[in-house]
Each structure stands twice: as C-alpha cells, then as structure tokens.
A and B are shown apart, each in its own frame.
Chain A
C-alpha cells in the first residue's frame, strides 16, 4: 500500500468516524442522562435530511439558512418525541423495555411515513463546497473534509456546553442522580427534554453533512442507528466524550476493513469487535464516569 492510499484511508476513516461520533454522542448523551435507549434516533437523522432537502433544494433557500432552520426544527421535534412518546412511559414498571419497544415502533412508523410522503426516489442535494483538495498525491473533495471539520466543531461546542456552562452542569447533575437533582430544584423532566433536543441537533448535523454524499432516503438513518449504538457501548455507556472517541475509532476500523478485507465484511468486523469489547470490557473502552 502506498503512502497516498494510507493517508486517504485514515482521512476517510476519520470522516466516516465523525458521522458515527455525531450520531453516537447524541445517543450517549440521552442514555447518560435519562437511561433511555432511543431506537428512533435514526429517524432524527432521516427527517432533518428531508427537511434540509425541502428547504435547500425545493424551496431554494441558501444553504446556511436551510441548515439552521432544519436544526432548529429537528431539535424541537426531538423534544416533542421525548415529551409525547417517552416521558409518559417512564413511570411504568417495565419502562426500559417499553420505551425501547415504543421507539422501535415510532422508528418504523416514521420510515414508512417518509416513504409514503416522499417516495422511493432518492433525492440529491448539491455539494456545499465544490472542488477537490490536492496535497501531493492525496485527493480529497472539500465537501468531505468539511464534514470532518464541521463535525468536530459541533461536537466541540456541545462539549463546551456540557462542561463549561450552567446548563451543562445541570444536565450532568441530573445524569448523576435525578432525585437529588429534583431535591435541589432542578426540573429533571425538562432537562430530559432538553437533552433529547440536543441529541436531535447532533443527529441533524450529521444528516445535513451527509446529504450531498449519500442522498436522502427513508432508510438513511436506519443504517447508522446500530453503528451509533455500537459506538455508545464502545465508548462506555453514557459517556459523551467516550462516544466521540469511539466513533472515530469505529470509522478507522471500518476504513481499514474495507481496504484490507472488503466492503462486505467491514461491518461484520465492526460488530465482532463490538461483541468482543463487551465480553472483555463491558464498561467500554473509554469509560468516563457517566459523562
């Protein structure tokens, strides 16, 4: 393998990984704070994909405006989903599984609805950044580099909010001990909703970044969901930072898997890696302590 290919491989891995990190960190945030596994998270990627498509392509709005509007909308949607389909179940005996079941149902419902509304036609969004960066022999389109950079920016922002702001402290307090938080006057219900909204925003960012490359379809979220879960477990269930690191790791593993084995077996490798980690180190590779 040449140096060029190695560099491209690593870059590709990091780019793929940044999407996994975005998706996984959102799931981790929700799980860390509320102990809820949201199976409809993939749709929180798919719907903003369509939203962005409608705004940027069908309505012809400028890209940045469309992106912001889409993000706002999906964050509202995330909060709504939490309020309507998840919060009411939390008081039940078997709430953990019931939430899983309800979100699975919601996920398939949304996928089918999207298919009925927008049809089979896979839609294309034009690239935001045209042109190819050429460094020596390495060629990488600016669009793909942008994914990595923007993802890092957004996740960095999130991390900043979590660790440096009042709101972040409130979220982390609720994650540690919701009852104690309540006792101190923190409205844990509202915190849960907010966290869902943030995770939706992360997923929405991933969707917008991906839309010119993979074209929007009703199932675009589904393929990332399981990888997102894998990332969360690898990173240490509930750890935001851990999920980010695990996301990049998974992206690299897959990239090398495709190069050395084949595209078909790369996912198998990723999942076997996941099961192996759970067997050997169930607390995850980058176990934080709840954040």
Chain B
C-alpha cells in the first residue's frame, strides 16, 4: 500500500460518515419552531430558564392546554440550540436549524442583545420570521426603524432599554421630589458590562439625567463576568458620584460589585439593573445588598399571585422554581404559537403579520408591538417597577400604584 492511500482512505471514511448522517426528511403535519440561546457559558442559568419556559409553552400547546386562536391549531416540534453567548455560534446554530430542522420560525436570541443584532440579518436572508425574547437594547429597534422593509420579518419580544432608562430616571425624580433621596452635586456614574445591554442602559440613563442638568462623573465598562472591581471603585471614589448605576447580566459580577461597593463605603445611592432578578443574588449577597435599589422587578412569586402560580408549575415540571426569564420565554413562545395558529399557514409574511397584530395578556404583562417592532413598556403594557431590598426581601417601591412598600 503506498503512502498516499492510507490517509486518503481515512479521509474518505470520514467524509462518508459525515455524508451519511443526512437527515431523513419526512413530510409531517408538524410545524417546527427553533430557538437559540445561551445554554453554556456565563449566562447558562438564564438560558436554561429560557429553555424550560419555551418547552413548557410548547408542551401545554400540544397537550390541549394552550391559549388557541383557531379550532385547528398546528402541532409543534421544538428544537433549541446553544449560542454560548456568541454571535457567530448563534448564526451557525440558526443555520443548522434552518437547513436541517426546516424550522418555520426562530426565537432568538433568547437573552443577548448583541447576538440578536447579528441574528436578525437572517430574517431577510432566509425569509424566516424571527422573534427575540429577552433582549432589550434600543439599538435593535433603531436598526429595524432604519430599514423596516428589510426587517419586516423580525420582531422584538421585549421592550426597549429606553424603558429601563425612563423608569430609572422617573424613579429618581420622584425620590428627589419627595425628599427620600438627595441629589447632592448632581453627579452620576456607571459601572456596566461591556455589552449592548450595559451600554444601551447607561447611555439612555445618562441622556435623561444630563437633560436635568446632571453630569456623568465616570462610565466604567468591564468585560462580562468581571468580579474584581477594585480599580473601578477606586476611580469612582475620586469621582464622588451621588448616584451609581450598575448593569450586569451575570449574577456573580453583581454580587461581587455590591460587596466591594460596601467595602469601599462609597457615599452614594446605588441602583442595580438586571442582576438582582436572579435568585443567586439574594442567596449570596443578602448581607451586603440591604437597601439596594434595583430595576426591574417584573416577576415576583412573593408579591404576585399569578407569578407564584407559574413558578409552582415550573417547579412541578422541572424541579426548580420559575424566574422572570422562564415566564418571559413562556410568553414569547405563546406569541409565536398564536401567530402561527392565526396565520393558518407557514407563509413567513402571514406569520409576521399575525405577530404584528398581537395584543395578548400573559403572566408577565400585556404584549403589544409598536412601530419599531418592539413590545411596548409602561403601566398599560409591561410595567417596569423599581424595587428595593428590605429586610432581605424584595419590595416594589415605585411606581406608587403598584408599590408594596415605601422606599427606605
């Protein structure tokens, strides 16, 4: 046997194996929905919640417990792939779902704004309806508004980060007005993760505060999953802000930040965005988190009956309580399922039109889309309440009409 043939034979064998794993495509009356989300990586816990929420919604739908639109809803097959939080992995995964699983609708990304910004390009490219779940960055909505024709099949299943910004700003205005807090020298600082999510929030809030005559003392961006904030806090001490806003999607960063903030004994009002929604936060940082303001308490088993009922269902099904992410994913899937049902076919345009017409009350709030293809936020739609950690528990302190306690 000459030297040539053995490695070549091996390659042929490998190629053969690859080719033989072609899918057997059967004509089925099922419609396949795909999803991509961070099932591994630092946000894996949230991705897991998303998967549970999505699966549960499909399960309910297939087993007769769905919120149907017509008498003849389609049966659904659901496949979810991992993005590891990376856009290029997401694109590859989505491509696989499209070509191998023949999905008719994609829910993606379930968490990351920056992944969604890349993923939405696939909507026009593959003529595929795409619905993102938790991502909120306004950059997404801006992109849609800049070319609605191109992104007609893309819809954003959550409100815009400007919703956070407005809520935070309005909360502080209210707190200053009724003397709960003191604006001091009107300096605000940010310590945020270096993602579209972190940046969008800090930019919007900065913009609103600056309009009131505030100055931004510092904006420190850190890589996601950072847990050592000493250099940043040292700098902040010099800057001496009156309000500090922190934004992290990874619970550990938030926990470390709050702890180190306490150690530095900065005289400032701290408002956290996102990470206190994770159960790990109160579990691991209860001792140092007392008094922290945060946005947004959109889901609480303790304070809301419907939320508790949902969480219990998730517990019964999967052995762990439900979180905001689980509930939101469930609602996002409901929207997708109802749109598919109402459309009566798998025509992308028809599905997109039905998504557009959604006006649906779900566990998390009322889902209705705006001109920019994003869900609207606000008291009539999905509220953005500000909470505070009091006595080791979360209480809603603003807006007053949904508040469960007064700020301390």
* Chain B, range 263-297, C-beta contacts under 8 Å to A: 263-265, 284
Partner among B194, B222, B232, B234 whose Cβ is within 8 Å of the Cβ of A5: B234
Q: Which of B40, B228, B235 contacts A214 (CB 8 A)?
A: B228
Nearest-CB distance from B12 to chain A (Å)? 27
Q: Which residues of B contact A139 (CB under 8 A)?
A: 263-265
- Cβ-based interface call for A82 (8 A): no
Q: Mark interface residues in B227-249 (1 if CB within 8 Å of A CB, else 0).
A: 11011101101100000000000
- Within 8 Å of chain B (Cβ to Cβ): is A270? no
Q: Which residues of A contact B263 (CB under 8 A)?
A: 132, 139, 141
Is there contact, CB below 8 Å, between A213 and B227? Answer: yes
Distance of A126 from chain B, by nearest CB (Å)? 10
Residue from B44, B221, B238 in contact with A120 in the complex, judged by beta carbons closer than 8 Å: B44
Q: How large is the interface on B (under 10, 10 to 19, 20 to 34, 35 or more residues)?
A: 20 to 34
Cα separation A265 to B225 with both chains bound (whole Å): 17
In the complex, chain A residues 1-22 whose Cβ is within 8 Å of any chain B Cβ:
1-2, 4-5, 8-9, 12
Stretch from A87-95, A102-110, A167-175, A255-263 contacting the other chain: A255-263
| Residues of chain A within 8 A of B250, CB atoms compared | 122
Are B255 and A124 within 8 A (Cβ)? yes
Interface code B26-62, partner A: CB below 8 Å = 1, 0 otherwise? 0000000000000011101100000000000000000
- A121 and B45 contacting across the interface, CB-CB below 8 Å: yes
Task: Say which residue of A9, A115, A121, A132 sits within 8 Å of B234 (CB atoms).
Answer: A9
Please measure, in the bound complex, the distance between the C-alpha atom of A45 and the C-alpha atom of B99, giving whole angstroms.
Answer: 43
B256 at the interface (CB under 8 A from A): yes
- With contacts A120-B40, A124-B284 taken as known, whether A258 is within 8 angstroms of B231 at the C-beta atoms is yes
Closest to B259 in A: A127
Chain A CB within 8 A of B252 CB: yes
- A215-B238 CB under 8 A given contacts A132-B263, A139-B263, A263-B220: no
Nearest-Cβ distance from residue A290 to partner chain B, whole angstroms: 35
CA distance A283 to B234 in the complex (A): 36
**Interface contact tally, CB-CB below 8 A:** 58
Q: With contacts A122-B42, A122-B225, A263-B232 known, is A5 near B252, CB below 8 A?
A: no
Cβ–Cβ contact A8 & B234, under 8 A: yes
Of B41, B221, B234, B255, most A-chain CB atoms within 10 Å: B234
Q: Which residue of A lies closest to B229 (CB)?
A: A263
Interface residues on A, range: 20 to 34
In angstroms, how far is the closest chain B Cβ from the Cβ of A97?
22
Contacts of A115 in B (CB 8 A): 40
Q: Which residue of A lies closest to B265 (CB)?
A: A139
Q: Which residues of B contact A12 (CB under 8 A)?
A: 230-231, 234
Residues of B within 8 A of A132 (CB): 263, 265
- Other-chain contact of B235, A124, A144, A259 (Cβ < 8 Å): A259
In the complex, what distance in Å separates the CA atom of A141 from the CA atom of B256?
13
Residues in A with CB closer than 8 Å to B40 are 115, 120
Binary flags per residue of A111-127, CB closer than 8 Å to B gives 1, else 0: 00001000111101000
CA distance A214 to B228 in the complex (A): 6
Are B238 and A5 in contact (CB-based, < 8 A)?
Answer: yes
| Residue in B42, B220, B228, B235 whose CB lies within 8 Å of A213 | B228
**Which B residue's beta carbon lies closest to that of A255?**
B231
B221 partner residues in chain A, CB cutoff 8 A: 263-264
Report how far A259 CA is from B234 CA in the complex, Å.
9
A61 CA to B373 CA, complexed, in Å: 55
- Nearest A residue to B42 via CB reads A120
CB-CB < 8 A to A259: which residues of B? 231, 234-235
CA distance A217 to B42 in the complex (A): 10
Give chain B residues whose Cβ lies under 8 Å from the Cβ of A141. 263
- Kindly state the separation between the CA atoms of A5 and B235 in the bound complex, as whole angstroms: 8
Partner pick for A1 among B220, B228, B238, CB 8 A cutoff: B238
Q: How far is the CB of B34 from the nearest CB of chain A, in Å?
A: 23
Q: With A263-B220, A263-B222, A264-B221 in contact, is A122–B252 under 8 Å at CB?
A: yes
0 or 1 for each of A161-180: is its CB under 8 Å from B? (1 = yes): 00000000000000000000
- Least Cβ–Cβ distance between A124 and chain B, in angstroms: 6
The residues of A that contact B256 with a CB separation of less than 8 Å are 213, 215
| Chain B residue nearest in CB terms to A121 | B45
Interface string of A237-268 (1 = CB under 8 A from B): 00000000000000000010011000110000
For this complex, 20 residue pairs linking A to B, each with C-beta atoms less than 8 Å apart, are A5-B237, A9-B234, A12-B231, A115-B40, A119-B44, A120-B40, A120-B44, A121-B44, A122-B42, A122-B225, A122-B252, A124-B252, A213-B256, A214-B228, A258-B231, A259-B234, A263-B220, A263-B221, A264-B194, A264-B223
A residues adjacent to B (C-beta < 8 A) = 1-2, 4-5, 8-9, 12, 115, 119-122, 124, 132, 139, 141, 144, 213-215, 217, 255, 258-259, 263-264
| Additional A-B contact list (20), CB under 8 Å, known A124-B284, A214-B227 | A2-B238, A5-B237, A8-B234, A9-B234, A12-B230, A12-B231, A119-B44, A120-B40, A122-B250, A124-B255, A132-B263, A132-B265, A139-B263, A213-B228, A213-B256, A215-B256, A217-B225, A255-B231, A263-B220, A264-B194
